[in-house]
């Protein structure tokens, strides 16, 4: 007999979306009261806030002093596209993908930029590809943490220090929750709507000296839209990297990011943020270990994400179903939890295997994840009972 009694304790905050993610604990709109609204972003106050966002990012992430940091339009996607369109084509490129966003960068390079010397190194959801097969004499594009698969690279040991090509890393669901080895990375991108729970629409682009050298010495064969241009007359537009943005940013969003960065300092900076995400993810890992019906999509423990934790349903009665029915079962669990108001937006990404995706980044409270776990079991048992009845 299964137990479908509702748990007594509910998460105080049911927001477990993988982007935009939960706001930092205690956030209210009053946190934006000092925003430079109605002012030009090129006025002294606007530029000072943008520069503060860049400086605080550098301090918390430990970005080397000789790396440039710019705030760019269109979230992480905009930052990645700026890098791909501006830097690739000087030499061959290895495109490394193991989930949908990495696969999207492959599509852009192969079908839009139409680079002939582009190799694709892939792995299915739940796995990493053979990283030893990457040729670092070529440029390399990869995601640090697969947001839609929950699979991450465990470290940067696979990248040689004496590489000839550039490494372009989409780190949007890793930055501020996982340790990035900037000495091995030439381009790093992220959006502040992920681990720090900022508002959407803005990306961050970090360039190594090697990436800047490429920008200043190489001109792509294709035209670049104004919104992608980072050089003028063969020289880097330095203003982009001190707060003079390419287009008009939202000063409300900038203020929100500054608030999140300030909060990050109060929890111990990067060390504290990583520890919070690790503790959050461990709650789910422990639950999976104790409940055979649910499993981590990442097949190896060392590749499990501590932010976008992706889960699959392993109960034999469910795995015996056709793929569409398995997906419907997972969606029914998500819908049941949503209606109860205990977990919002935890469905697997549309291109990923059927299952759940629960955000465990630093702005989520561990107590909320602990409260959620019994609800997962309740929803599963309720849906399984309905499945048995229908049969």
- pLDDT over 90 at 58, yes or no: yes
CA dist., res. 162 & res. 165, Å (int): 9
- Going from the C-alpha of 286 to that of each of 22, 56, 318, 365, the distances in angstroms are 22, 34, 22, 16
Q: Are 304 and 152 spatial neighbours (Cβ–Cβ below 8 Å)?
A: yes
Q: DSSP letters of 178-224?
A: S---GGG-SEEEEETTSTT-PPSSEEEEEE-HHHHHHHHH---SS--
pLDDT digits (tens, 9 = 90+) for 317-370: 999 999 999 999 999 999 999 999 999 999 999 999 999 999 999 999 999 999
CB 200 within 8 A of CB 193: yes
Could you read off the pLDDT of 226-264 as tens digits, one per residue?
999 999 999 999 999 999 999 999 999 999 999 999 999
- Which fold is adopted by the domain 269-390? 3.90.1150
Q: Are 306 and 177 in contact (CB under 8 A)?
A: yes
Alpha helices (runs of H) in the chain, residue ranges in sequence order? 44-61, 75-87, 100-107, 209-217, 251-266, 269-290, 316-319, 323-340, 366-390
- Tell whether the model's pLDDT for residue 391 goes beyond 90: no
Give me the sheet containing 294-296, strands edge to edge: 294-296, 308-313, 356-359
Identify the burial level of 200 via C-beta atoms within 10 angstroms of its C-beta, where 0-12 means exposed, 13-18 middle and 19 or more buried: middle
Confidence check: pLDDT of 120 > 60: yes
pLDDT over 50 (residue 94): yes
pLDDT tops 80 at residue 24: yes
Beta pairing, strands 68-73 & 151-152:
unpaired
305 touches 151 (CB < 8 A): yes
Distance, CA of 102 to CA of 177 (rounded, Å):
19
**Residues 9-25: b if buried by 16+ CB within 10 A, e if exposed:** ebbebbbbbbbbbbbbb
Average pLDDT of the chain? Answer: 97
Tell me, what's the pLDDT at 273? 98
Residue 23: predicted pLDDT: 98
Q: How far apart are CA 260 and CA 254, in angstroms?
A: 10
The answer, yes or no, to whether residue 2 has pLDDT greater than 80, is no
CA distance 264 to 350: 31
State yes or no: pLDDT of 3 exceeds 70: no
Q: What angle do CA 21, 26, 32 make, to 5 degrees?
A: 80
**339: CB partners within 8 A, 6+ apart:** none
pLDDT in tens, 170-179: 999 999 999 9
Task: Write phi, then psi, for 60 (nearest 5 degrees).
Answer: -70, -45
* pLDDT recorded at residue 212: 98
Q: Which of 338, 379, 258 lies closest to 6 in space, CA to CA? A: 379
With beta carbons less than 8 A apart as the criterion, state whether 281 and 76 touch.
no
| pLDDT above 80 for 270 | yes
DSSP structure class, residue 22 = P
Q: Where in the chain are the domains? A: 29-265, 269-390
Residue 139 confidence (pLDDT): 99
Tell me the per-residue pLDDT of 171-223, one tens digit each, with 9 for 90 and over.
Answer: 999 999 999 999 999 999 999 999 999 999 999 999 999 999 999 999 999 99
The rounded distance, in Å, linking the Cα atoms of 37 and 339 is: 36
Mean pLDDT throughout 285-309?
98
Position 1 scores a pLDDT of: 36
Asked whether residue 117 carries a pLDDT value surpassing 80, the answer given is yes
- β-bridge partners, 142: 169
Cα(292)–Cα(87) distance, integer angstroms: 46
In this predicted structure, the answer to whether residue 81 has a pLDDT above a threshold of 80 is yes
269-390 matches 29-265 in CATH topology: no
What 3-state DSSP class applies to 347? Answer: strand
pTM (two decimals) = 0.97
Percent of the chain with pLDDT over 70: 99
- CATH class of this structure's domain 29-265: alpha beta
């Amino acid at each position: 007999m299964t137990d479908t009694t509702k748990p007594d304790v509910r998460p105080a905050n049911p927001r477990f979306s993988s982007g935009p993610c939960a706001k930092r604990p205690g956030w209210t709109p009053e946190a934006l009261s000092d925003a430079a609204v109605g002012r030009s972003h090129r006025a002294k106050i606007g530029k000072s806030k943008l520069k503060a966002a860049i400086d605080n990012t550098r301090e918390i992430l430990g970005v080397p002093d000789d790396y440039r940091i710019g705030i760019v339009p269109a979230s992480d996607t905009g930052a990645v596209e700026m890098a791909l369109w501006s830097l690739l084509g000087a030499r061959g490129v290895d495109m490394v993908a193991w989930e949908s966003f990495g696969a999207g960068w492959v599509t852009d390079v192969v079908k839009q930029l139409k680079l002939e010397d582009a190799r694709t190194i892939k792995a299915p959801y739940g796995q990493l590809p053979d990283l030893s097969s990457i040729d670092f004499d070529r440029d390399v594009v990869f995601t640090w943490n697969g947001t839609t698969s929950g699979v991450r690279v465990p470290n940067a040991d696979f990248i040689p220090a004496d590489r000839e090509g550039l490494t372009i890393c989409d780190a949007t669901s890793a930055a501020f929750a996982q340790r990035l080895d900037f000495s091995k990375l030439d381009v790093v991108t992220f959006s502040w709507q992920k681990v720090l729970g900022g508002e959407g629409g803005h990306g961050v682009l970090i360039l190594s000296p090697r990436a800047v050298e490429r920008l200043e010495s190489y001109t792509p064969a294709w035209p670049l839209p104004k919104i992608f241009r980072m050089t003028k007359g063969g020289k880097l537009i330095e203003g982009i990297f001190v707060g003079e943005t390419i287009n008009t940013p939202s000063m409300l969003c900038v203020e929100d990011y500054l608030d999140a960065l300030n909060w990050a300092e109060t929890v111990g900076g990067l060390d504290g943020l990583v520890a919070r995400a690790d503790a959050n993810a461990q709650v789910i890992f422990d639950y999976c270990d104790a409940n055979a019906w649910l499993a981590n999509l990442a097949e190896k423990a060392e590749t499990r994400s501590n932010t976008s934790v992706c889960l699959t349903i392993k109960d034999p009665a469910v795995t015996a179903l056709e793929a569409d029915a398995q997906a419907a079962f997972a969606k029914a669990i998500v819908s049941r939890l949503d209606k109860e108001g205990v977990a919002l937006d935890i469905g697997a990404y549309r291109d990923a295997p059927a299952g759940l995706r629960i955000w465990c980044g630093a702005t989520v409270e561990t107590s909320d994840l602990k409260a959620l776990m019994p609800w997962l079991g309740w929803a599963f048992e309720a849906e399984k009972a309905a499945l048995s009845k229908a049969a």
